[in-house]
Structure 1
Amino acid sequence: MTVLTVQVEANQDDGSREWDSMMFDWDFTQTNPNLIGAADESGGDPRDVTCYFRFLGVDIPSTATINSAKLQYKLNASYSYSSKSCRIYAEDIASSEAINSDSDMTNAQDSRTTNYATWNLSTSSDTTSFQDSADFTDTIDEIINVSGWDDGENNITILLMDPTEPDMMDSWIMYIKAHELSSGADAVKLVIDYTEAGAAGSNPAFLLFVD
């Protein structure tokens, strides 16, 4: 088995969308912190309340078996709500482009995977240690099997969407540290455990000829 860990490398490779009640419009941002479950007062489209993380060079062959996949993240503030959740999707293409605007983010969401994992957000007061998301093995398995994966740059954008309530209150938001903080040291990581085809402890047979 091989464990691949890839961390967000640039400020533009993580971001979120939040409802601005003063302007009555959506506010797209790539600054710290990222938000999961921002307040939605626009009608409850699952694309509206979300954040994204783009990981570069996720070089896993399409023939590999994905054993596990998770995000590792640091909280920007304590989180105390145990009944909230969101879904973990990915952009369903061989190599995700950079997201530089709200429309880019919407396009990535519209191209999301069929498979997703439900992440029940964990309560915690620890803002210094990396913590684990829910496992989303099936989502990563879908990505490495898209057409052109083995020939692409293998950039993956993870999308957190569909919070528990479409009108999730501001006080229920989970704040995750972004790349902008600590020069990227606290940025979100993608951790994938996989086994390459033919590498599962095989013992090839051989013939011994005695003259």
Structure 2
Amino acid sequence: MQTQKVQTQKTSYQQPLKNLLPAFALPIAVASTILLAGCNEQTDSNGNTQPEVVETSEQSTISDVDTSGSTDTENVDTGEMVSTRDQPLSIDWSRIDSGQKPIAPEEFNYPFELDGESVKSQAKFSDITPEQAQHTLTVGMASNEPLEKLLDQLGDSYLSHKFSESEAKLIVYTTPNVKPSQHDYVIAHEFARGLTLPIEIIPQPKAEDVKSTQPATK
């Protein structure tokens, strides 16, 4: 009888709990669904949001630089070449001279060793002595120094130039209106300062003159 009474009490306690479970289950499920949806929305939002880019001082400085010319070479203004072909022209060498005092080659301290590979290669290539090769290499490195001043006078009468390694001489080819001449230019650049660079102006004949001197073909 006592056992039956205890079981009856347990049953009476359990029955209200069973009735309350469905009532608790629905709000819990709804809350879980809302919470899960909120997490997914936050994850998508974080995944789609672009990271904020902080512009550094270096980046802003680079962006402010004018990109109209990317290199110094592109910015060099060569200017319009003066037309001189319609008049006789003689080089004024006083406007070309550097003002340096000449130094005898045997007194000059050459940057190339006499028994160095570059001197040996130059001597073999140009069929000259090692002493000549040593001098040619040094003078040749500064052979373009007087060109700018020459071009200022020649204008469009200038055609081309070359450095003769066997003679250590600068040769400038011009149109026929330029008077042929030769001059000893003293180099001012520290690499070959005081060494003498011979310059020769050689006018080239007109194309029609060349054709007229050619033998007629049968």
TM over 0.5: no
Q: Tell which has more relative contact order, 1 or 2 (C-alpha 8 A, sep 6+).
A: 1
Report which of the two structures shows the higher radius of gyration computed on alpha carbons: 2
> Relative to total residues, which structure has the larger helix share, 1 or 2?
2
> Relative to total residues, which structure has the larger strand share, 1 or 2?
1
